[in-house]
Every structure is written in C-alpha cells, then in structure tokens.
Amino acid sequence: MPESRKRKKDAYTPPTTRASKEPVNFESPRWLPITMVALWVIGLTWIVLWYLVPIPFLEDLGAWNIVIGFGFISVGFVLATKWR
C-alpha cells in the first residue's frame, strides 16, 4: 500500500519575550513591614492597657476599646497582604 506524502512543518518561532520590556518590581516599600508590626503592637498594647491600667479616657470608651484595638490589628493584617 502506498504511503501518503509527509507534510512539512513550519519552522518554530518562539513567542516574543519580555526581555525588551522593563522588569516588574515585586518588592514592597521599606516602610511597610515596619508599619505593619507597629500597628500590631499598638493594637495589642491598646487592649492590654484597657484591661490592666485605669486610664480615664480609656475607661470612658468602654467596650469600644476592643474595636479600636482590633481595628489597629486588622489594618496591620491588611498591610501584611501587601508585603512581598
């Protein structure tokens, strides 16, 4: 039985690379981890001071101190998602 003709394949040309473009910067700014840890410490300190030390303006806020403390901690965690 006769064989069918072989088809010629086109020469392979690789897709264009990004070498000609400017590289992408994946580093976070230097202030980000410092601010992130500072917010965690401020939030934790706020809550601990409210429980342990009778400071007049903290006592006036009542249970809102928990919200404020966790607010600082939450913003720290939001910054943690931006850290590379």
Residue 72 lies in a domain: yes
Number of domains in the chain: 1
pLDDT at 22 over 90: no
Residue 36 within any structural domain of the chain: yes
Is 56 contained in some domain? yes
Q: What does the DSSP 8-state code read for residue 4? A: P
Residue 4 lies in a domain: no
Q: Is residue 76 part of a domain?
A: yes
79 burial (CB, 10 Å; 0-12 / 13-18 / 19+) is buried
20, pLDDT greater than 70: no
Task: Domain of residue 48: give its range.
Answer: 28-82
For residue range 28-78, list pLDDT tens digits in order.
999 999 999 999 999 999 999 999 999 999 899 999 999 999 999 999 999
pLDDT at site 72: 98
35 in any annotated domain: yes
